[in-house]
């Protein structure tokens, strides 16, 4: 596989992971907003306080802390999507290597592809964004 195809595949994985993270974070945000409206609960400042503690910073006021908390929420959720995409890709590649040694390698590779929703097509041996 050429460097260009490898980098293209990596870009595809990262892109899909970021989109998955954004979608998941949006779903959680909607759920959280509905819950806050139903119960009258205030937004949580825990994400902001946790990062403030780690970085040794402090928000100027409550408005800035709420904005910072929202930024942390979106950044954290999006990064989990990217991490999950890399994990799925790594697991699929490991299964591909292991299954290529046995008689039923094609079936295992197709199972890996269908089960993981990976952007790779192990059954045909090519790395392709789908």
Query: Measured between alpha carbons, how far is residue 37 from residues 48, 74, 76 in Å?
Result: 21, 20, 23
Domain layout of the chain by residue ranges = 8-119
Phi, psi values for residue 61, rounded to 5°? -150, 180
Q: Is the pTM of this model over 0.85?
A: no
DSSP state of 101: T
pLDDT above 70 covers what percent of the chain?
Answer: 62
Average pLDDT taken over every residue of the chain? 75
pLDDT for res 40: 94
Per-residue pLDDT, averaged over 29-50, amounts to 92
Residues 6+ apart with CB under 8 A from 129: 8, 9, 12, 16, 119
Query: How many angstroms separate the CA atoms of 39 and 90, rounded?
Result: 42
pLDDT tens per residue across span 73-113: 999 988 888 777 777 666 666 656 655 555 454 444 444 44
């Amino acid at each position: 596989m050429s460097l260009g195809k490898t980098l293209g595949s990596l870009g595809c994985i990262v892109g899909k992971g970021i989109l998955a993270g954004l979608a998941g974070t949006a779903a959680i945000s909607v759920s959280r907003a509905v819950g806050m409206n139903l119960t009258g609960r205030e937004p949580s400042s825990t994400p902001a306080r946790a990062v403030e503690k780690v970085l040794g910073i402090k928000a100027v006021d409550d408005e800035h802390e709420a904005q910072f908390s929202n930024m942390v929420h979106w950044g954290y959720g999006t990064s989990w999507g990217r991490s999950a995409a890399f994990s799925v890709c790594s697991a699929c590649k490991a299964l591909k290597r292991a299954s290529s040694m046995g008689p039923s390698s094609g079936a295992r590779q197709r199972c890996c592809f269908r089960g993981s929703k990976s952007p790779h097509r192990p059954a045909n041996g090519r790395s392709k964004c789908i």
